[in-house]
Amino acid sequence: MGALRRAPIFIRRDSIAIAADTGRGRLQAAARSDQIHNQNVIRFQPMAAPYSIPRSGLPVSLAVLLLLCMSTTAHAGDPVIMPEGKGNVYIFGSSARASSYYNTAGRLKRFDTLQTDFTALIFSATLNYGLTESLELNAEAPVGYFTLTSAQRFPDRSIFSPVYFGAGATYQLSRGTINSSISSMIKIPPGFHHGIYDDPAHPSFLSDGYLQVLSTVNVGANLTNVWLKGSAGYNWRDEEPADEIVYNVEAGFSKVEGTGIFVGCNGVISTADATEPLQPFYAGASGSIAEQQRVDGGTGRFSTIDRENYFAINAGAFVAINDRITLTGRYVVRLFGTNSLALQGGYLGAGYNF
């Protein structure tokens, strides 16, 4: 399990993940429109809030992400789970690109002087199903196409493969004006080589992934025409990659029924020192002073990043076609980081309640 794992890093909750979760929340809102809470029938009101509020609003979710992402990302949890016997399917595609990175000193640098670009295309399907009134089952299956291109010197490289296979659950803690839940998901990589730096199948570009277990606490609040939500958690990672703390926050506004806009931020904090990675992921990214001053890209090797910090912002909108189908779009930009790619990109998704 080595480094297609970069899928989780490249897209996790900051791009892809965020996409999946946001759309999922819109879907959950519709699914709950027929559910009765405290003897009050909930009507479909997308304007109320994108994360499900059982008494007076709709659900919204968070990522991850991306998801990216952005991690993708998408994480398993939402502040309010699906009703018992109800579910949703969300399908989305995203594209993120980077021609620069944040080095170990936090400074933005180009990969090299050879017009090198990293691109990640992610297509994913997520499934969420309410098993009981308090427990929801979650599944994710993102597939990624990752490329590294250079105008000269280096041959183009690419990988097309599943990013991971995710299975998890979300447990409802509280419902009301403030909703909360806890969630956990295991992410199984597509390959089983142990080690991200010596994978024979990936000698110069990423690796075959690594095992992860992401656990989060999710909280959301619903106000008139406004929703707030956030999550924080711990991502355990096998092999060389260091564990990390993940977080994201979102605020949205909806005045017209069935539509809404939202802004948010998300990030990752490594539990290890991001200024001292085990190996440079690219020539000039870390190492000795002489190595960090390189601008020719070295041999062009592009490895999995074993630890990083970053902070990203995002904005998007959703529109409900009807009480079952919702379309969502979002754009994400990493503002700063340490030993991290300067990714930016967007996604489009569609969800269906059943």
Q: What is the pLDDT of residues 156-171, one digit of tens each?
A: 888 999 999 999 999 9
CATH of the domain at 283: 2.40.160.40
Q: Is the pLDDT of residue 312 over 80?
A: yes
Amino acid 164: pLDDT? 95
| Position 273 pLDDT exceeds 80 | yes
Does residue 73 form part of some domain?
yes
Instruction: Report residue 69's pLDDT band, with 50, 70 and 90 as the boundaries.
Output: very low
Instruction: Work out how many domains the chain is built from and give that number.
Output: 1
Q: Minimum mean pLDDT among 41-55, 187-201, 249-263, 324-338: which range? A: 41-55
Please report the pLDDT score of residue 82 as a whole number: 95
What pLDDT, on a 0 to 100 scale, did the predictor assign at position 132?
97
Residue bearing the bigger pLDDT, 51 or 146: 146
H/E run at residue 29: helix 16-31
Question: What's the whole-number average pLDDT of the chain?
Answer: 80
Residue 1 lies in a domain: no
On the question of pLDDT at 308 being above 80, the answer is: yes
Q: Does pLDDT of 54 surpass 60?
A: no
Strand partners, 125: 91, 141
Is the pLDDT at 52 greater than 80? The verdict is no
Poorest-confidence range of 57-71, 83-97, 163-177?
Answer: 57-71
Q: Taking a C-beta distance cutoff of 8 angstroms, is the pair 166, 13 a contact?
A: no
Q: 116 or 339: which carries more pLDDT confidence?
A: 339
Q: Is residue 23 part of a domain?
A: yes
What are the structure tokens assigned to 98, written together? 């980077």
The pLDDT of 50-54, averaged and rounded, is: 36
β partners of residue 98: 118
Report the b/e string of 6-26 with b at 16+ CB within 10 A: bbbbbbbbbbbbbbbbbbbbb
pLDDT tens-digit map of 203-241 = 778 888 899 999 999 999 988 899 999 999 999 999 999
What is the structure's pLDDT at 206?
A: 83
Judge whether 284 lies within some domain. Answer: yes
pLDDT of amino acid 287: 66
| Statement: residue 27 has pLDDT above 60 | no
Residue 311 in any domain: the answer is: yes
Calpha distance 36→81 (Å, rounded): 14
Long-range CB contacts for residues 231-237, cutoff 8 Å, separation at least 24:
231/62, 231/64, 231/75, 231/77, 233/75, 235/268, 236/212, 237/5, 237/210, 237/211, 237/212
Tokens 């605020």 found at? 251
- Domain around 135: 6-353
pLDDT (mean) for 59-75: 34
| Region of 292 on the Ramachandran plot (φ > 0 left; ψ -120 to 50 alpha; else beta) | alpha
pLDDT in tens, 111-154: 887 788 999 999 999 999 999 999 999 999 999 999 998 887 67
Binned at pLDDT 50, 70 and 90, residue 200 comes out as confident
* 153, part of any domain: yes
Residue 171 domain flag? yes
Q: Which residues contact 306 (CB under 8 A, 6 or more apart)?
A: 196, 240, 241, 242, 277, 278, 279, 281
Nearest partner of 216 among 88, 52, 94, 65, judged by Cα: 65
| Partners of 217 in beta bridges | 182, 232
3-state SS, 143-205, equals: EEEEEEECCCCCCCEEEEEECCEEEEEEEEEECCCEEEEEEEEEEECCCCCCCCCCCCCCCCE
Q: What are phi and psi of 215, to 5 degrees?
A: -125, 135
Tell me if 89 is assigned to some domain.
Answer: yes
Whole-model pTM: value is 0.78
Residue 104 tokens read as 């170990």
The better pLDDT of the pair 80, 294 is held by: 80
What pLDDT, on a 0 to 100 scale, did the predictor assign at position 284?
59
